Homo-oligomer: A and B are copies of this chain.
Amino acid sequence: MPYADIVTALAILQFVWFGVQVSQARGKYGVHAPAVTGNEVFDRYFRVQQNTLELLIAFIPGLYLFGHYFNPLWGAGLGVVYLIGRQIYSMSYVKDPKSRGAGFGLSVLPTLILLLSGLIGAVMRLAGH
């Protein structure tokens, strides 16, 4: 499934990028390892990365389940929405945590659609449809 593979790799690279930003924020705001708190702006970068990790564990399996039981190209389309949503989430969270809702929804929603569709597809397959 090259479509799902490409979106997976891009989603992980986006996550790696959020990690680079956390690392840069460590230097900029003087939060030295092993500490992960101590500065409010650093905390925002860190939470963006952590929340994205929590979402990736749902997004990646969802993408392959959807691609397997339905359509890899449509799955990749939902994946592009996720990628854009996460980018908006990251930028708005760092600016003001209270404004993170839109980007959050735009990345969580496609993840849930992929996952629930995949679940339905697998159950239907078992039921012989």
Residues of A within 8 A of B (CB): 2-3, 5-6, 8-10, 12-13, 15-16, 19, 32-37, 40, 43-44, 46-47, 49, 53-54, 56-58, 60-62, 65, 68-69, 93, 97, 100, 112, 115-116, 118-119, 122-123, 125-126
User: In the complex, A54→B122 CA distance in Å?
Assistant: 25
Partner of A5, one of B9, B47, B116, B122: B122
State how many copies of this chain the complex holds: 3
B-chain residues with CB within 8 Å of residue A97 when the two chains form the complex: 32-34
Whether the Cβ atoms of B47 and A8 lie closer than 8 Å is no
Whether the Cβ atoms of B58 and A12 lie closer than 8 Å is yes
B-chain residues with CB within 8 Å of residue A2 when the two chains form the complex: 122-123, 125-126
